[in-house]
Amino acid sequence: MMIAKKPIYFLVLIALVFSSFTAFAGGGGTSSKGGQINTPESIKGYIKHHLADSHDFSLYSYTNDAGERKHVGFPLPVIVWTSKGVKTFMSSAFHHNDNGTVIVDQGDVKLVKIHSKIYELNEGATAVAFDESHHATNAHKVLDFSITKSVFGMLFAGLLLLLGFGSLARSYKKGAIPTGIGRVLEPLVLYVRDEIAIPNIGEKHYRKFMGFLLTVFFFIWVLNLLGMTPLGFNVTGQIAVTVCLALFTFFIVQFSGNKDYWKHIFWMPGVPVPMKIILAPIEVLGMFTKPFSLLIRLYANMTAGHFVVMSLIALMITLKAQFGAFGSTGISMILALFISVIEILVAFLQAFIFTMLSSLFIGMAVEEHDHH
């Protein structure tokens, strides 16, 4: 008996939304009663906590019958460079504490975590001292190379890509038509090649950049889709990640630029000399505004999407007094489901736009001009 695929996808989407409801009702952040997120302040804290990176992987939290706060998840490695060298330990040493009250003694240094940042206490200090703005006065930041939740998400996405494309490569050994997951990946690979790379870079040069374009497209797309799940990933909503991706595009463009590309930047042909002097600084500035637009577009759109979905889910709490528990949940679920469907489209669209613009910038750098 065959089951239609579209209803299955719809049911999966509903399950994801309900899972988000469950995580929100018992999630991390400030709680006001029994671990519930039920006040405007706790809602804002939870959304902020969801958007930020963290040193441990926490799925959700709850308060047991004994009044103890329990966190479901697992710790991640903390790797920091202190004044006494590199220190490594698991994030569970902080006991999910983020206000500087838990001190991790690493022999010759003492470390604390304040607002998701790790600090080293000054020599002789045994506790953190705060000023009026709650800034540590007797501690300083350390260089943090930890495997955070976002880093774990990128490693997980990379593993999924290796497994998927490994399966695609193995399926070609059996025949010209791929099987399994390869049947999903091959049309997307051809789409990136035929609709993005070749039109923007050209038949002559596109093969050289296909590896980068495919990696960027699938990496961003998979991370965006993971961000739609109750796992709570918000990797592409981290400015450091989008900056790094944009820098890859920037350096590839600059190192691939031919003489015509640099001539059009510093001494545009066919233009009067006074205009060349005026246009040169503008073109140089344009070299940096292109990658800046890439990183801001991806960061802003994905962060806004997460914020809107979480805010709509929170409507069940803010509208409870007017419509009751059942009515507020129904309204919130319908709105969140609608936005979630749009976010699935945005997840693909942002990967497409980043790849398209990257290929366009590369094409401008390798284009050969015929000056008469």
Distance CA 344, CA 13 (A): 10
HEC string of the chain equals CCCCHHHHHHHHHHHHHHHHHHHHHHCCCCCCECCECCCHHHHHHHHHHHHCCCCEEEEEEEECCCCCEEEEEEECEEEEEECCEEEEEEHHHHCCCCECCCCEECCCCEEEEECCEEEEECCCCCCCCECCCCCECCEEECEECCCCHHHHHHHHHHHHHHHHHHHHHHHHHHCCCCCCCHHHHHHHHHHHHHHHHHHHHCCCCHHHHHHHHHHHHHHHHHHHHHCCCCCCCCHHHCHHHHHHHHHHHHHHHHHHCCHHHHHHHHCCCCCCHHHHHHHHHHHHHHHHHHHHHHHHHHHHHHHHHHHHHHHHHCHHHHCHHHHHHHHHHHHHHHHHHHHHHHHHHHHHHHHHHHHHHHHHHHHHHHCCCCCC
**Is the pLDDT higher at 14 or at 60?**
60
Among 235, 310, 333, residue whose Cα is nearest residue 44: 310
Q: Which residues contact 176 (CB under 8 A, 6 or more apart)?
A: none
Strand 139-141, strand 117-121: pairing: antiparallel
What pLDDT shows up at residue 9?
A: 47
**Is the pLDDT higher at 78 or at 21?**
78
Contact indicator for 356, 234 with CB cutoff of 8 Å: no
**In this predicted structure, which of 173-177, 324-328, 355-359 has the lowest mean pLDDT?**
324-328
**Structural domain boundaries in the chain:** 77-146, 150-366
Contact indicator for 346, 201 with CB cutoff of 8 Å: no
Strand 117-121, strand 110-114: pairing: antiparallel
What pLDDT shows up at residue 278?
A: 85
What pLDDT shows up at residue 31?
A: 43
Q: Which amino acid is at 170?
A: R
What pLDDT shows up at residue 65?
A: 75
Q: What is the mean pLDDT of the chain?
A: 81
Residue 244 has pLDDT above 90, yes or no: yes
Distance CA 209, CA 288 (A): 20
What pLDDT shows up at residue 80?
A: 92
Residue 308 has pLDDT above 70, yes or no: yes
Binned at pLDDT 50, 70 and 90, residue 17 comes out as: very low
Contact indicator for 271, 282 with CB cutoff of 8 Å: no
Binned at pLDDT 50, 70 and 90, residue 54 comes out as: confident
